[in-house]
Amino acid sequence: MEADRNTGPPAVASGRTTADRLGRPLQDLRISLLDRCNFRCPYCMPESTFHADYEFLKRSQRLTHEEILTVARVAVGLGVTKLRLTGGEPLLDKQAPDLVAGLADLAGVDDLALTTNGTLLEPVAAALKSAGLKRVTISLDSLDDDVFARMSGGRGSVRQVLNGIAAAERAGISPIKINVVVQRGINDHTVLDLLEYFRGSGHIVRLIEYMDVGNRNGWRMEEVVPSRELLEMIEARWPVTAVGRNYPGEVARRYEYTDGGGEIGFISSVTEPFCGNCSRARLSADGVLYTCLFATRGTDLRTPLRHGVGEAGLAEILERVWLRRSDRYSEQRQPEVAAAQPLSKVEMYRIGG
Segment near ligand SF4 (CB under 6 A), from 39-47, 173-181, 186-194, 273-281?
Answer: 273-281
Q: Does 275 bind ligand SF4 (CB under 6 A)?
A: yes
* Closer to ligand SF4 by Cβ: residue 91 or 293: 293
* Closer to ligand SF4 by Cβ: residue 198 or 274: 274
Segment near ligand SF4 (CB under 6 A), from 71-79, 202-210, 235-243, 269-277?
Answer: 269-277
Determine phi and psi for 281, rounding to 5 degrees. Answer: -110, 155
Q: Mask: binding to ligand SF4, 278-297, rule CB under 6 A, as x and -?
A: x-x-----------xxx---
* Of 255, 274, 322, 349, the one binding ligand SF4 by CB under 6 A: 274
Q: Does 4 bind ligand SF4 (CB under 6 A)?
A: no
Segment near ligand SF4 (CB under 6 A), from 61-69, 86-94, 267-275, 339-347?
Answer: 267-275
Size of the site for ligand SF4 (CB under 6 A): 12
Distance of closest approach, residue 310 Cβ to ligand SF4, in angstroms: 29
Q: Report the distance separating Cα 36 and Cα 285, nearest Å.
A: 10
CB atoms within 10 A of CB 262: 17
Those residues whose C-beta lies under 8 Å from the C-beta of residue 276, and which sit 6 or more positions away, are 22, 24, 328, 331
Q: Does 322 bind ligand SF4 (CB under 6 A)?
A: no
* Closer to ligand SF4 by Cβ: residue 72 or 213: 213
Closest by CA to 121, choosing from 152, 154, 92, 151, is 92
* Closer to ligand SF4 by Cβ: residue 30 or 203: 30
Distance of closest approach, residue 325 Cβ to ligand SF4, in angstroms: 8
Distance of closest approach, residue 7 Cβ to ligand SF4, in angstroms: 21
β-pairing, 253-257 with 263-267?
antiparallel
8 A C-beta contact, residue 51 and residue 304: no
* Closer to ligand SF4 by Cβ: residue 100 or 292: 292
Closest by CA to 164, choosing from 132, 202, 198, 116, is 116
Taking CA atoms, 60 is separated from 67, 299, 327, in Å, by 12, 19, 31
Q: Give start and end residues of each alpha helix (H) in the chain.
A: 65-77, 96-104, 125-131, 145-152, 158-171, 191-198, 227-235, 302-306, 310-323, 329-332, 335-340, 348-351
* Closer to ligand SF4 by Cβ: residue 274 or 349: 274
Rg (CA), the chain: 19
Q: Mask: binding to ligand SF4, 324-343, rule CB under 6 A, as x and -?
A: ---xxxx-------------
Segment near ligand SF4 (CB under 6 A), from 97-105, 120-128, 240-248, 275-283?
Answer: 275-283
CB atoms within 10 A of CB 146: 9
* Closer to ligand SF4 by Cβ: residue 151 or 275: 275
8 A C-beta contact, residue 99 and residue 87: no
Contact residues: ligand SF4, CB under 6 A = 269, 274-275, 278, 280, 292-294, 327-330
